[in-house]
Structure 1
Amino acid sequence: MAKTSLRSQRRSRRPMSQINVVPFIDVMLVLLIIFMITAPMLQQGVEVDLPEAQAEALDDGTEAAEPLVVTVDAAGALSLNQGPRVNEPLAPEEMTEIVIQFLEDHPGTQTYVRGDRNVDYGRVIDAMIALQRAGGGRVGLITEPPRDD
């Protein structure tokens, strides 16, 4: 009788061939929460109150990695979203030099201007002209779609 009970104990202690995924799920949920919290903080940029306009998005058939955007904030300061001084205030001449160098390194990049709705319209036009002189070609304006109230 003692032999049969010893055999049954050996059989019940066989290693399991299943993987326990509960710790994996716990780690994934923690990472998901961390990424959900940190993702909005990674968005950098200059705060601009864009005007609203009902317009179609431009599609010229090219798929550039990221367009070059000149931002004109409410105070009239210029900044770029790419280059050596990202989102820093730039003088118009300095911005033009950076754009020329950037477009030489990345030909065919789309160029846009983001102008605050409260900035003098002349400052937005000056930014567009500077982009065109730097070799930007067609320059687009960035707006927000109208809100449904």
Structure 2
Amino acid sequence: MAEINVTPFVDVMLVLLIIFMVTAPLLASGVPVDLPDSRANPIDQQPDQVTISIDPTGTIFIGNERVETGGLPDALAAIDRGQAGNEPVIVLRGDRTLQYARVMAVMGELNRAGFSSISLVTNSSQSAP
């Protein structure tokens, strides 16, 4: 009588599940940014959100694509706006070592391009400032 032993199959599937659970958060953001800490409540991710990252050197990335110096207005104009009245949420990730003026300059360009829904991403913190 031939029987299929499923124990090795289950073991392999559990190992693959653990590997994917560990690597999935690393794939979500390809630009290495040391985020500041905050006690803000987490927000839900949306499928049509656009991630803009500013690395420690001040280089701007839209998604994983580097934006050339002075090319942010053109890059923002190329973003798909979707349906009327349903613009994408902009998620801004800025390194903690950046000057405030650099982040505000990017936010000013976002506002100038017509994006009014901007979320700032931080790490969660347990202690009050």
User: Quick check: TM above 0.5?
Assistant: yes
Separation (CA, whole Å) in 2 of partners of 1:25 and 1:138: 44
Contact 2:31 2:53 in 1 (8 A): yes
Separation (CA, whole Å) in 2 of partners of 1:54 and 1:41: 22
Contact 1:113 1:127 in 2 (8 A): no
2:106 matched residue in structure 1: 127
Which among 103, 112, 115 is matched to residue 80 of structure 2? 103
Can you give the 5+ residue segments of structure 2 that lack an aligned partner in the other structure? Answer: none
Separation (CA, whole Å) in 2 of partners of 1:116 and 1:30: 34
Matches within 5 A, 1:8-87: 19-22=4-7, 24-29=9-14, 31-32=16-17, 35=20, 39=24, 42-57=27-42, 64-81=46-63, 86-87=64-65
Separation (CA, whole Å) in 2 of partners of 1:97 and 1:122: 21
Deviation at 1:109, TM superposition (A): 0.9
Contact 1:103 1:135 in 2 (8 A): no
- Taking a change above 3 Å as real, the CA distance of residues 28 and 112 of structure 1, as seen in their structure-2 partners, is closer
**Looking at both structures, which has the greater relative contact order when contacts are Cα pairs under 8 Å and sequence separation is at least 6?**
2
Separation (CA, whole Å) in 2 of partners of 1:26 and 1:108: 44
Number of residue pairs matched? 125
Identity value in percent: 35
**Greater helix proportion:** 1
Letter in 1 for 2:81: E
Separation (CA, whole Å) in 2 of partners of 1:27 and 1:111: 39
Separation (CA, whole Å) in 2 of partners of 1:141 and 1:22: 46
Q: Tell me the secondary structure at the aligned position of residue 102 of structure 1.
A: coil
**Greater strand proportion:** 2
Contact 1:132 1:138 in 2 (8 A): no
TM-score by length of 2: 0.70
User: Between Structure 1 and Structure 2, whose CA radius of gyration is higher?
Assistant: 1
- Taking a change above 3 Å as real, the CA distance of residues 22 and 120 of structure 1, as seen in their structure-2 partners, is closer
